[in-house]
């Protein structure tokens, strides 16, 4: 540092003038830019996020696969791959929560909150960049699935719609992630969220049809939002669905829309309110 410098900046520092909405979008874009820089600077992040789904696929398809019978002589691989996509989306809320907790713990959140940026951008930027991250995750997973022999027998449109449904589930879970992050004290505690994520992802139709589980467990698994998404995309991909005759399983296509919308309607206001109340 040189002593002759002064506080006077070389350039004009008057903030540009735009409407509040313009700034809400622009600040969100800046936060998304930050989120994407993370992937560029630490590409290993993707590996960490996908580590569990990939290992579980290898485990279920190659280790347990020969012993897995989902009924009707269906190919287990074709059954399990869509399940894995859905499970990855389900676990995604942990990534959201973890990123928020780190920002909170390190004081970055406080810096954002002490700046004249749009108040919504911390939350909306997180949401959009996590959605882009989820799309990257799905892309990598789809390539792995293709490599081990999974195929979508649905048309282009159905296949695309299946991925939209997956991202919709992930979108809904962003708000649960942000909401939970507001309660979590530190990074170690954030790791404990796995205790929530694990049953949420596994107690579903992801790896086995709920109709093959004990009644009470099957009931929980059937009504798990992850199951609806998993069943809906199986149908769209033309993969074996292995559903029972319950109402919830018969209406997977509808419920794959209803569940995420419901979750969003409940947790988005809760998350935003909790975020605003950080100043209490």
Partner 1 sequence: MGERDWAIEARGLGKRFGEVTALDGFDLAVPSGTVHGLLGPNGAGKTTAVRVLATLLDSDEGSALVGGVDVARDPQEVRRRIGLTGQYAAVDEILTGRQNLELFGKLFHLGGRRAKARASELLERFDLADAGDKGVKAYSGGMRRRLDLAASMILAPQVLFLDEPTTGLDPRGRGEVWTAIRDLVAGGTTVLLTTQYLEEADQLADEVTVIDRGRNVATGTPSELKNRVGGDQIEVVAAEGADLAAVAAAFDGVSTGEPTVSTEHRTVSAPVADRVAALSTVASRLQASGASIEDITLRRPTLDDVFLRLTGHRAEEEASSPEAGSDGPLAQPATYETGADARTGADGIPDERESTEAEGALR
Q: Which is nearer to partner 1, 17 or 215 (CB)?
A: 17
| Least distance to partner 1, CB of residue 41, Å | 6
Closest alpha carbon to 95 in 61, 59, 51: 51
* Least distance from partner 1 to the Cβ atom of residue 75, Å: 41
Q: In this complex, which beta carbon is closest to partner 1, that of residue 143 or of residue 280?
A: 280
What is the spatial distance between Cα 274 and Cα 280, in angstroms, rounded to a whole number? 10
Shortest reach from residue 10's CB to partner 1, in Å: 6
We find the least distance from the C-beta atom of residue 269 to partner 1, in angstroms, to be: 20
> Shortest distance, CB of residue 33 to partner 1, whole angstroms?
7
- Cβ 225 vs Cβ 259: under 8 Å: yes
Q: Where are the alpha helices (DSSP H) in the chain?
A: 20-41, 44-57, 76-106, 108-113, 121-147, 156-181, 187-191, 194-202, 215-223, 225-237, 247-250, 252-276
Q: How far is CA 26 from the centre of its chain?
A: 23
Catalog residues that contact partner 1 under the rule CB under 8 A.
Answer: 1-3, 5-13, 15-16, 18, 23, 26-27, 30-31, 33-34, 37-38, 41-42, 106-108, 110-117, 121, 278-280
Tokens of 215: 């009644």
Of the two residues 26 and 159, which places its CB atom closer to partner 1 in the complex? Answer: 26
Q: Are 174 and 275 in contact (CB under 8 A)?
A: no
Output the smallest distance, CB 123 to partner 1, in A: 14
Q: What is the smallest separation between the CB atom of 5 and partner 1, expressed in angstroms?
A: 5
N-term to C-term CA, the chain: 39
The Cα 78–Cα 274 span in angstroms is 41
**Longest Cα separation, the chain:** 81
Choose between 12 and 215: whose C-beta lies nearer to partner 1.
12
Q: How far apart are the C-alpha atoms of 67 and 60, rounded to whole Å?
A: 9
Q: Are 90 and 226 in contact (CB under 8 A)?
A: yes
Q: Residue 163 and residue 122: Cα distance in Å, rounded?
A: 26
What distance in Å separates the CA atoms of residue 184 and residue 101, rounded to the nearest whole number? 7
73 or 116, CB closer to partner 1? 116
CB of 79: closest distance to partner 1 in angstroms? Answer: 38
Report the residue number, 21 or 41, with the smaller CB distance to partner 1.
41
């Amino acid at each position: 540092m040189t002593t002759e410098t002064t506080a006077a900046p070389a350039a004009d520092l008057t903030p540009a003038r735009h409407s509040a909405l313009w700034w809400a979008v622009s600040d969100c874009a800046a936060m998304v830019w930050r989120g994407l820089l993370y992937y560029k600077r630490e590409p290993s992040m993707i590996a960490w996020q996908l580590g569990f789904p990939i290992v579980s696929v290898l485990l279920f398809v190659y280790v347990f696969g020969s012993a897995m019978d989902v009924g009707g002589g269906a190919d287990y691989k074709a059954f399990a791959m869509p399940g894995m996509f859905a499970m990855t989306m389900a676990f995604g809320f942990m990534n959201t929560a973890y990123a928020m907790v780190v920002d909170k713990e390190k004081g970055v959140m406080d810096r954002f909150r002490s700046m004249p940026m749009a108040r919504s951008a911390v939350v909306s930027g997180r949401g959009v960049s996590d959605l882009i991250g989820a799309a990257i995750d799905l892309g990598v997973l789809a390539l792995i699935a293709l490599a081990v022999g999974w195929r979508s027998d649905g048309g282009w449109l159905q296949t695309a719609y299946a991925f939209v449904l997956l991202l919709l589930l992930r979108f809904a879970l962003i708000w649960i992630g942000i909401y939970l992050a507001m309660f979590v004290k530190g990074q170690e505690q954030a790791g404990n969220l796995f205790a929530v994520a694990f049953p949420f992802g596994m107690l579903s139709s992801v790896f086995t049809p709920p109709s093959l589980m004990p009644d009470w467990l099957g009931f929980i698994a059937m009504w798990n939002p992850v199951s609806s998404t998993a069943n809906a995309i199986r149908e769209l991909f033309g993969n074996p669905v292995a559903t029972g005759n319950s109402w919830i399983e018969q209406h997977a296509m509808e419920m794959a829309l209803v569940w995420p919308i419901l979750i969003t309607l409940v947790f988005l206001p809760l998350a935003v309110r909790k975020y605003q109340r950080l100043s209490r």
